[in-house]
């Protein structure tokens, strides 16, 4: 039995759910998200609660049970409150700036790195050394934060690069004489 799937998903009153033709759609103040449902999973909506159950007793259906419940919870939470991921830029002369939907970063290369944000995500720079990625979809926010981090991942000797705010970089000792 799934430990995650057996718990219901509570839906806030500001979120509108629509279930039709193998697709569930959530609409809230942060946007609209939809999820295609597999035929092995059955969904019941009662007032402000969503229950997920497997239709058949198979290993694959039980695996999808918890995954579907987690995806629906993330979808409901995302359209209600949204997700964010903060990146810290560490290094002398490393900085970032946002103008419109364009993120420009100076990362020690001979040129500036330019990243154009997609429509479903907002990129902000509170300070020149922090970048915040916000959006309704947890998957998209994490993917875009990973793409930005990939331009200059943190290196282990001086710790320079782009890292997640909660990430701890393991430092190496360096050369000895």
Q: Give the separation between CA 91 and CA 169, rounded to whole angstroms.
A: 14
What is the rounded radius of gyration, in angstroms, for the C-alpha atoms of the chain? 21
Confidence at 175, pLDDT banded by 50, 70, 90: confident
**Domains of the chain, with CATH numbers?**
9-80 (3.90.930.12), 83-164 (3.90.930.12)
pLDDT beyond 80 at 52: yes
Range with the lowest mean pLDDT among 3-7, 88-92, 165-169?
3-7
pLDDT at 10 (0 to 100): 93
pLDDT at 22 (0 to 100): 87
pLDDT at 6 (0 to 100): 87
What are 115-164's pLDDT values in tens digits? 999 999 999 999 999 999 999 999 999 999 999 999 999 999 999 999 99
Helices (H), 105-161: 138-149
Predicted model pTM: 0.89
pLDDT beyond 90 at 174: no
Between these two residues, 57 and 146, which has the higher pLDDT value? 146
| Average pLDDT of the chain to the nearest whole number | 93
Picking from 52, 58, 82, the residue whose alpha carbon sits closest to that of residue 70 is 52
Tell me how far CA of residue 154 lies from CA of 83, 149, 157, in angstroms.
23, 8, 9
What are 82-119's pLDDT values in tens digits? 999 999 999 999 999 999 999 999 999 999 999 999 99
Using CA of residue 160, residue 166, residue 167, residue 170, what is the dihedral sign?
positive
Q: Give the separation between CA 103 and CA 114, rounded to whole angstroms.
A: 6
């Amino acid at each position: 039995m799934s430990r995650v799937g057996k718990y219901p998903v509570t839906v806030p009153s500001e979120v509108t759910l629509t279930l039709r033709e193998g697709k569930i759609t959530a609409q809230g103040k942060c946007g609209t998200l939809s999820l295609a449902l597999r035929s092995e999973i059955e969904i019941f909506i009662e007032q402000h609660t969503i229950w997920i159950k497997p239709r058949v007793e198979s290993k694959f259906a039980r695996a999808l049970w918890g995954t579907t419940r987690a995806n629906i919870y993330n979808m409901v939470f995302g359209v209600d409150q949204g997700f964010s991921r903060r990146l810290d830029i560490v290094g002398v002369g490393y900085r970032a700036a946002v103008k419109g939907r364009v993120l420009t970063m100076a990362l020690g290369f001979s040129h500036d790195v330019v990243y154009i944000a997609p429509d479903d995500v907002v990129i902000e720079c509170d300070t020149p050394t922090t970048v915040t990625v916000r959006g309704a979809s947890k998957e998209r926010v994490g993917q875009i934060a990973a793409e930005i981090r990939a331009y200059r991942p943190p290196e282990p000797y001086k710790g320079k690069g782009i890292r997640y705010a909660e990430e701890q970089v393991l430092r190496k000792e360096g050369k000895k004489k």
